[in-house]
Structure formats: C-alpha cells, structure tokens
Amino acid sequence: MLTIEGFLNYLRDERNYSPMTLQSYGEDLKEFELFFRNVENQISWETVDSDVIRAWMEAMMDRGNAATSVNRRLSTLRSFYKYALRRKLVNRDPAHKLQGPKKKKPLPQFLKESEMDRLLDLKMWGDEYIDVLARTLIITFYSTGMRLSELTGLDDKDVNLITREVKVTGKRGKQRIIPFGDELFEAIESYRQKRDEDIGKQSEALFLTEKGMRMTGNLVRKLVKMSLSRVSTLKKKTPHVLRHTFATAMLNHEAGLESVKKLLGHESLSTTEIYTHTTFEQLKKVYKDAHPRA
C-alpha cells in the first residue's frame, strides 16, 4: 500500500535524507493529499491522475504561491511517484510528464528620463578631471547602450566625432557601429580636452584613470554607482542599468525592436524583447494613474 510514511521511511533509512528535508517532503505530500481528498472522496494515491495534479498547481498559483514554490512541491510529488513505481505500488506515474509553471524573469531595472535629465545637468558636476570623466562615462552608456567591457575597450580611434559614430567590439569579437548625438559629441570633446591637459595622452585608450592608465571595469562600476546614487534609489546602480535605461528610452520613443537589437548587439530578438515588457509595465502604470475608471 502506498503511504506517505512508507516513502519518508525509505528516504530516511535508504537515502539518508536529513530530518528537515523529510519534514518538508512530508508537509508537501500531506498538503496534496488533503487537496485531492477534498476534490473527490473516492480518489486515492493509486488513482490520482495528471488532471488532479494540474488542478492542485493551479490552486496554489491562485493563492499567490510563487512558481519556485509550486515547482518544489511538484518535484516532491515526482520523487514520491518514482519511488512508488519502482516498488510496483502504482501502475503509472501521473506526475511524470507534467511541467511546472515557468519562473518569471525579473524585469530590467532602469532610470526614469527625469532622473537622467537631473543627473546629466552640468550644474550637478564640478570641473575636476574625475567629474568630467564620470559624467562622460554616464553619457556614453546612456547614449549608446554599450556594455561595460565594450566601453573599457574603447580606444580614441574608435570614436569618430566627424561622423558621430563609435565602433565597439562586443562578445566573441563582433564589431558594430553605434551612432550618437550632440550631447555625447560635446561631452567627449570636452573630456578629451580636459584629459589631454590634466593627464596627458599616455595610452591609446579613450577613458583614462588619473594616473593615465586605461579604465578597468571595477573603476567604472565605482564611478557609475557613485553617480547614480545622486538621483536614484534603485538597489542596482551599475553600468548595465544604464544599458537597460538606453533600451527602454529608445522603445518608449518609438524605436523599432530590430533597430534596438542591432544597437545593443544582441544575437537574438528574444533577448531584446524583455524591454517591451518593461515599457508595457510602464504603460499599465500610466493607464492606472491616469484613467478615472482604472
């Protein structure tokens, strides 16, 4: 006869599972047993089918359980029926082919346009080299959406101020050209002048430390975090947040998904599509705030 107690004894005696794990498995199975007994009195462990298990998962989701929690309980049930099938206590495994709910991918974090406007206001910055450098880094990320590694790899020759284009080398050495506008043009022009006056041109790199060395990823992260802290309360304050901010701003201003994909250097359109979820969430919030019947 198939029982929860028999399964837990097997896990304890033959598989050496810890008391905490046994307790967790026991609670999951008792919860499912209570569910199918309430569905129909005649159902037993031996006669449970996949429809009953699906209904259980749906009920958990309706109660607000996270996908991870539902999948963990489904995993317990799979282990239970595998054990039962091996012991010939059931004729079939109703949990075998069932798929649990997909985990929600967290939406990318990004800064609001008003926050970026405040951050890039010249009045927010001093005249020291480190201030000019930090502001130019922020504008470069925000204007191009490039990755951190792409930015630190930039040389002076990669930036063409006449055509207003920057050549970046992305993943697996793939290169792409990103156009930019007046703001980044002016920022780079001012930065280069300040750099050459204060630091001197000791490297082919575009962005230099105060000692004249190429900027490392860690130094850029530190400057970006300090800069974003001035206007944002986001937990993450990284160069990647600025990449997300660039993509979100482009889509909010009616750029095509394919164009944004090329600018970001994504291999697949599905990678870029996550930003459409971000903009749609924004749209829902605007609707809820603005519509009198929302």
The catalytic site residues sit at 147, 171, 240, 243, 266, 275
Determine which helix (DSSP H) or strand (DSSP E) holds 220, and give its type and residue range: helix 217-228
Single-letter residue type at 177:
I
The three-point CA angle 247-253-255 to 5° equals 65
Cβ-based neighbours of 212, under 8 Å, separated by 6 or more: 199, 200, 202, 203
Beta partners for residue 208, in sequence order: 214
- 239, 219, 209, 206: which is closest to 129 by C-alpha? 209
Buried/exposed code over 90-126 (b: 16+ C-beta within 10 A; e: otherwise): beebbbeeeebbeeeeeebbbbeeebbeebbeeeebe
Instruction: Collapse the DSSP code of 235 into the 3-class scheme (helix H, G, I; strand E, B; otherwise coil) and give the result.
Output: coil
